[in-house]
Structure 1
């Protein structure tokens, strides 16, 4: 990649709109569910899949299910997108409350 192209790509990446929210991971083989929060929903799946592929995910039950059933048995979904207005009341507090809501609603384990 040429230097100019790289600079343009980096600038575009920095200017993109980041959307925080709650995501859901589902094991299609067992029906187990895990929910998590992310400051950027557009990048979280790659991060999670990377840690699971390398056996280093912090969620023990999630990692065990991944090891048993494999990548093709998992689905990633966005449960809720949180706009900046919703997060004005305190980002961490709001995201934690929404995560607990979705865990209770779906019977999911928080990761």
Structure 2
């Protein structure tokens, strides 16, 4: 069983073109704010390369907060780590889940992860529910509400609802 005391136990990710695929867990840390993203892959080189390419292109739409910080702080503020994990996919995913929880890597805590163990984190779960309400015209977002910030009781007043229970399309963004 692997045991990682902290992020420094990880190996700094380095790319070689013709390397054999190595499965494992990786982390992307923003040094400027301390936030971290933890992921796993059957091919660490390929997956880390995909993250870097999307971030450089400015279209990492699956992790918009990571993209925002990449733009704000620059590539030099990010460090990529990797930890090879031998064994089954289940072993790799258990290790990933353990690290997400141990390092508080969910986006409502200290990270960029939206899911842990195949389940949405609390903030992402709330946001997904809100998106469904907007999509089914039960509510609509006003220009003052941000897409990536979930509604809480304080923000409910920023949504518009008519008497029949559906949103008024003229007031939607």
Same fold (TM over 0.5): yes
| Structure whose alpha-carbon radius of gyration is higher | 2
CA distance in 1, matches of 2:49, 2:74: 16
**Aligned counterparts, 1:47-66, within 5 A:** 47-57=50-60, 58-66=62-70
What's the secondary structure of 1:47's corresponding residue? helix
Q: Of 73, 77, 84, which residue of structure 2 is paired with 1:73?
A: 77
Question: Which of the numbers 96, 99, 108 marks the counterpart of 2:96?
Answer: 99
Over 2 Å off, 4+ runs? 42-45, 93-96
TM-score by length of 2: 0.47
Alignment RMSD? 1.7
Q: CA deviation at 1:45?
A: 2.2
Greater strand share, structure number = 1
TM-score (normalised: structure 1): 0.71
Structure 2: gaps of 5 or more residues: 1-17, 107-112, 115-173
1:10 — aligned with what? Answer: none
Structure with the bigger percentage of helix: 1
2:3: which partner in 1? none
Number of residue pairs matched? 90
Once residues 20 and 72 of structure 2 are traced to their aligned partners in structure 1, the CA distance between those partners, rounded to angstroms, is 36
